Amino acid sequence: MKQILFSTLITLSSVPFLAAQDSRTVTEPTLPPVCTSLDAQLSISGRSLAPTDEDKLDTARIQQALDHCGKGQGVLLRTHESNNAFLSGPLELREGVTLIVDKGATLFASRNPAVYEKSSGSCGLVNDQGNGCNPLISAKHISGAGVMGDGVIDGRGGEKLLGKDVTWWDLAEQARAGGRQQVPRIIVTDTADNFTIYRITLKNSPNFHIVYNHGDGFTVWGLKIDTPKRGARNTDGVDPGAGSKNITITHSYIRTGDDNVAIKGSTGGVTNMTVSHNHFYWGHGMSIGSETYGGVSKIRVSDLSLDGPDNGIRIKSNGSRGGLTHDVVYDDVCVRDSPNPITLDTGYTAAGTVEGNSPPTMRDITLRDVRVSGGGKISFNGYAKDYRVAATLDNVLLTDAAPYTYAIHHADLIIGPGPSNLKLSGGVDSTLQGAPSNGKAASCSDKFVSFPKE
């Protein structure tokens, strides 16, 4: 393998007016030295694998290589002659070890629910039980591990399960009527400090693509997530949550069937996070929530394009899972053709009842140099008189004459120092400091770029 080293492109603290909240000094990762190279023994047929290859699992040899690799090194999955595919069930990363998928190679997730089940018959169905499936790749109680490379990991969420007439995504749709879809995720970490995702392409996860919990130090750089807009329910892109801190997501491209990024402030909360220099396409937007009961704070989002998402800038919670979200800044953001370009909402219903014993509050939220086009609904919806939404709008501008609607309840809004032409009058139990006015918006033309080709 040709070893590629990269010099630092930026220091994230260099963004004007926006102190990076990841307390680390984050630079572009490098691929580690390879301890073991594994040659592909399967070939892609169409966009997947031939039915006759579905029992030819590479799980054991990949896991054995990971188990015997030294810290600071990586296991490389590479093409060999006409073979370019690997097939695997659950894999566990080890201390300081990176899984590298080389350019041209694809790691396919098995379609057999039995290989993921935590107990007999627990995966590949809808029921009322807890999580019954192991992820494709896990990292537990280790540090310095990662997933890298210019290849692809395909979760195959839209393909039928072996021996069944449903896909993983069909199970997610069935769960709308009640119950939980028992399906795997692609990458799940728990207490994995200094974890790195670099340059890899993830596709078609049955559920969330990446989950990072209880960790200190998470870098996502050059990631591509490419999953359909419709029919891929609950396929969040990157979900930091549950007691995680010092997180950077940068130089990445994400389009998926649910939240592009969702900050899940459950037990332990999420803090010190930077989201910079990214491009999001279809999906449910740059989200915080719906869980905020553990608290979300010190979040900085800068240089972001959101092109055609269902939601753009979004903080969502409700009375059953709310807490304090504060010290959040969005700077230099362009939103185009979204039905809900700006949504700060405490009445989110998809994940629980609106009312409850855990009311949400959002304060110290700043939107700076935000440009919106294509129309849509703009919402600042506080929960109640004592649990409000408080936001500052500094140079927040609608850049076209498309129709916009507004929902404002229990909100305290400040315009300035830059202008905002949002029509914010008439809110219920709300206050407004400053008067709406027009301003000259910076162009977004260089921010909306095509999704990269493989």
Q: Answer whether 243's CB lies under 8 Å from 219's CB.
A: no
Cis? peptide before 290, omega within 30° of 0? yes
- Which residue among the candidates 251, 277, 279, 284 is catalytic per the annotation? 284
Distance CA 285, CA 411 (A): 22
**CA nearest to 185, candidates 150, 134, 252, 142:** 134
Return left, alpha or beta for 219; rule: phi > 0 is left, psi -120 to 50 is alpha, else beta: beta
Distance CA 360, CA 382 (A): 8
Look up 303 and say whether it is catalytic: no
**Matching residue, tokens 């396919």:** 108
**CA nearest to 242, candidates 181, 189, 202:** 189
**CA nearest to 194, candidates 23, 68, 80:** 23
Distance CA 271, CA 241 (A): 9
Look up 258 and say whether it is catalytic: yes
- Which residue among the candidates 150, 226, 258, 331 is catalytic per the annotation? 258
CB atoms within 10 A of CB 453: 5
Known catalytic residues are 258, 284
